[in-house]
Chain A
């Protein structure tokens, strides 16, 4: 954890430091954003977030409609319906729950509904494993959702607040997902700063209700058939909106900085300026990667790091600028791109962005433990030319793969 992330640079609004798990940080941020409707299937893996929200509603701390549905499929259906009525909504899931929600995910995009969802990113069956990696959320890349991947509880808290602003922005009107490491963030207690006055959150992210919605005074039909003459055009608007959202995401992140004293950008970089080796990753292991960068630097290897934060829309131009001059780009992926051109999804996208081969290793699959030594060893192999670009390597797989 970096001190920098926790100490606001210029505190504009009064904040207090507390300690929460990632899940409870998300629940608190959601509560402060005052959703009208929360729907969830209260079972592993998202329980702590929605349990906390249920508690808030029950205590009268949050005036929301809480719908305990009978499956994640229904959870997404319920928030789609509520959002289409103009309600600010929230749901949370992960792993098989997200899989079960799947057929409804693109509907939120097509109807342009600014639903915000939390995902404590986890792997998928089989074999049954509810532990952390990014297999679940990576499957959402083609659907049109805005996808944030955050590093810690503080960023999860802040990003939920930003996500509502972005999703409900007139130029966007798209659903957004905030993903954070299952267990390594979701269940880890960390300090974070939260506003003393909750009103500041709703002031920063007021509910606009500006999206396409059902209103008896202005009758509309949502979800009609889009015949071949219409479907593509309607869908293309969502494509354009997602592209457009890139600048909205940055704009709102900057404004968030002015209010809360924290900002994250589309991605985060560390000692990258003069680097010859860049380690690219996402989620909580970025802290380990930074440690490895320091160690390599001490040993004379010009290393740097980059943490992907917004993966949809993909910040291609900026990434290119940040990584173009770096000789070796080493992407540590945390989900398997089965049978893909590179075995990690983000490595594939980084390679396509840079239009040259990148180094790629998989780590943390099914929440296989990882420490900075393991990352260091892998990075040394890349630096020394023992690993080749465009190949598949693993960190922590027994039997290895080299």
Chain B
């Protein structure tokens, strides 16, 4: 037996910790496990991937996982941008998704009928027990449920080893997810079929679209010419999004000053006046393509006009 898994999420969601915890627990259960995260200089919110392999026998090959048996997705908004990972899951494998959406809707977004689709509102469960939107504990629970290992008690011990704090709270979240995760069976499985794609061994997808050229073409000395982050849509990083109540906004523009991503914009809004005349007024709006949901604007707004609302 050898199970290869890919965990996809964002910096701050505990992806790496989740793989360490499962690996830790699997080792306690007598398996061999290797958790090898792959990340660079990412910050909170940026996409992160981590690999986890569990085997009955010792593992020596740290080969990149190209066609996983399971993909665990920490954020349903990543499904579209990380479709290559879903395509790479072996027929008969598992796609485990953290989502508050209806399981059938998630199945539609995932768009595969030859794999198990597992849906759990991991953020909701985590908020309830831990008080933080960290979906890793619940996803570990969902993983344990569908795989049949590692045992829940081992996960608890792993929490103790790995986190050393909030063990009860995290474990309660794991246990609830174990119980409530919805498993949708595949419609038909042809295990002889090859997956639609393979996961590329470069981590290029983490930092945006660019052409990978040969050494003859790269800029001498690694010089980088002028450019912009126009194509770098940090909006995909969001877990929560800011919304504004214009009736409270005094147009002080503090949010605009503090937004690290230039995602606060001023827009014109037309509103009818008392005698039917239409007035154009300036209002604060958000450029959701670039807003990464950091919440700074809500924090600095002196009137409380901005609220952060959950998006996944």
In-complex Cβ contact of B224 among A110, A211, A224, A233 (8 A): A224
Q: Which residue of A lies closest to B210 (CB)?
A: A229
Q: For window 171-211 of chain B, which residues contact chain A by CB distance below 8 Å?
A: 202-204, 207
| Cα–Cα distance between A110 and B214 once the two chains are bound (Å) | 17
- Tell me the smallest distance from the CB of A220 to a CB of chain B, in Å: 5
Whether B224 lies near A221 (C-beta < 8 A) is yes
Q: Which residue of B lies closest to A236 (CB)?
A: B215
Q: Which residue of A lies closest to B216 (CB)?
A: A237
Q: Which residue of B lies closest to A225 (CB)?
A: B41
| Cα–Cα distance between A221 and B225 once the two chains are bound (Å) | 6
- Chain A residues with CB under 8 A of B226: 219-220
- Chain B residues with CB under 8 A of A110: 221-222
B1 close to A (CB within 8 Å) = no
Q: Are A221 and B223 CB-contacts (below 8 A) given A229-B212, A230-B218, A233-B214?
A: yes
Q: Which residue of B lies closest to A221 (CB)?
A: B224
| Cα–Cα distance between A234 and B221 once the two chains are bound (Å) | 6
Q: Which of A219, A220, A232 has the most CB of B within 10 A?
A: A220
- Chain A residues with CB under 8 A of B225: 219-221
Whether B203 lies near A173 (C-beta < 8 A) is no
In-complex Cβ contact of A111 among B207, B213, B222 (8 A): B222
B273 close to A (CB within 8 Å) = no
Q: Which of A219, A230, A232 has the most CB of B within 10 A?
A: A230
Whether B220 lies near A112 (C-beta < 8 A) is yes
Whether B220 lies near A227 (C-beta < 8 A) is no
Q: Are A237 and B220 CB-contacts (below 8 A) given A229-B203, A229-B212?
A: yes
- Chain B residues with CB under 8 A of A111: 221-222
Whether B218 lies near A222 (C-beta < 8 A) is no
| Cα–Cα distance between A222 and B203 once the two chains are bound (Å) | 23
Q: Which residue of A lies closest to B222 (CB)?
A: A234
| Cα–Cα distance between A230 and B212 once the two chains are bound (Å) | 8
**What's the tally of chain B residues with a CB closer than 8 Å to chain A?**
19
In-complex Cβ contact of B222 among A173, A224, A228 (8 A): A224
- Chain A residues with CB under 8 A of B164: none
B40 close to A (CB within 8 Å) = yes
In-complex Cβ contact of A233 among B41, B203, B218 (8 A): B218
Q: For window 203-223 of chain A, which residues contact chain B by CB distance below 8 Å?
A: 211-212, 219-223
Q: Which residue of B lies closest to A240 (CB)?
A: B215
- Chain B residues with CB under 8 A of A112: 220-221
Whether A222 lies near B223 (C-beta < 8 A) is yes
- Tell me the smallest distance from the CB of A245 to a CB of chain B, in Å: 14
| Cα–Cα distance between A227 and B224 once the two chains are bound (Å) | 13
Q: For window 67-103 of chain A, which residues contact chain B by CB distance below 8 Å?
A: none
| Cα–Cα distance between A250 and B225 once the two chains are bound (Å) | 34
A226 close to B (CB within 8 Å) = yes
| Cα–Cα distance between A240 and B218 once the two chains are bound (Å) | 13
Whether A227 lies near B207 (C-beta < 8 A) is yes
- Chain B residues with CB under 8 A of A236: 215
Q: Which residue of B lies closest to A109 (CB)?
A: B221
- Tell me the smallest distance from the CB of B58 to a CB of chain A, in Å: 27
| Cα–Cα distance between A222 and B224 once the two chains are bound (Å) | 7
- Tell me the smallest distance from the CB of B148 to a CB of chain A, in Å: 35
| Cα–Cα distance between A225 and B40 once the two chains are bound (Å) | 10
- Tell me the smallest distance from the CB of B37 to a CB of chain A, in Å: 14
- Chain B residues with CB under 8 A of A222: 221-224
- Chain B residues with CB under 8 A of A226: 222
- Tell me the smallest distance from the CB of A291 to a CB of chain B, in Å: 46
| Cα–Cα distance between A395 and B213 once the two chains are bound (Å) | 52
| Cα–Cα distance between A240 and B202 once the two chains are bound (Å) | 24
Q: Which of B40, B207, B215, B222 has the most CB of A within 10 A?
A: B222
- Tell me the smallest distance from the CB of B9 to a CB of chain A, in Å: 20
- Chain B residues with CB under 8 A of A237: 215, 218, 220
Q: Which residue of A lies closest to B202 (CB)?
A: A229
| Cα–Cα distance between A67 and B225 once the two chains are bound (Å) | 30
| Cα–Cα distance between A232 and B40 once the two chains are bound (Å) | 16
- Chain B residues with CB under 8 A of A113: 221
- Chain A residues with CB under 8 A of B41: 225
| Cα–Cα distance between A367 and B218 once the two chains are bound (Å) | 45
Whether A229 lies near B222 (C-beta < 8 A) is no
- Chain A residues with CB under 8 A of B223: 212, 220-222
Q: For window 310-350 of chain A, which residues contact chain B by CB distance below 8 Å?
A: none
| Cα–Cα distance between A236 and B219 once the two chains are bound (Å) | 12
- Tell me the smallest distance from the CB of B226 to a CB of chain A, in Å: 5
- Tell me the smallest distance from the CB of A304 to a CB of chain B, in Å: 41
| Cα–Cα distance between A113 and B220 once the two chains are bound (Å) | 10
In-complex Cβ contact of A228 among B202, B218, B219, B221 (8 A): B202
Known contacts A173-B220, A221-B225, A233-B214; 13 additional CB pairs below 8 A are A110-B221, A110-B222, A113-B221, A212-B223, A220-B223, A220-B224, A220-B226, A222-B223, A224-B224, A227-B207, A229-B203, A232-B215, A233-B215
Between-chain CB contacts (< 8 Å), 21 pairs: A110-B221, A111-B221, A111-B222, A173-B221, A211-B221, A212-B221, A219-B226, A222-B221, A222-B222, A225-B41, A227-B207, A228-B40, A228-B203, A229-B204, A230-B218, A232-B215, A233-B213, A234-B215, A234-B221, A236-B215, A237-B220
Which B positions have Cβ atoms within 8 angstroms of A? 40-41, 202-204, 207, 212-215, 218-226
The 4 closest A-B pairs by CB, nearest first: A233-B215, A112-B221, A212-B221, A236-B215
Which A positions have Cβ atoms within 8 angstroms of B? 110-113, 173, 211-212, 219-230, 232-234, 236-237, 240
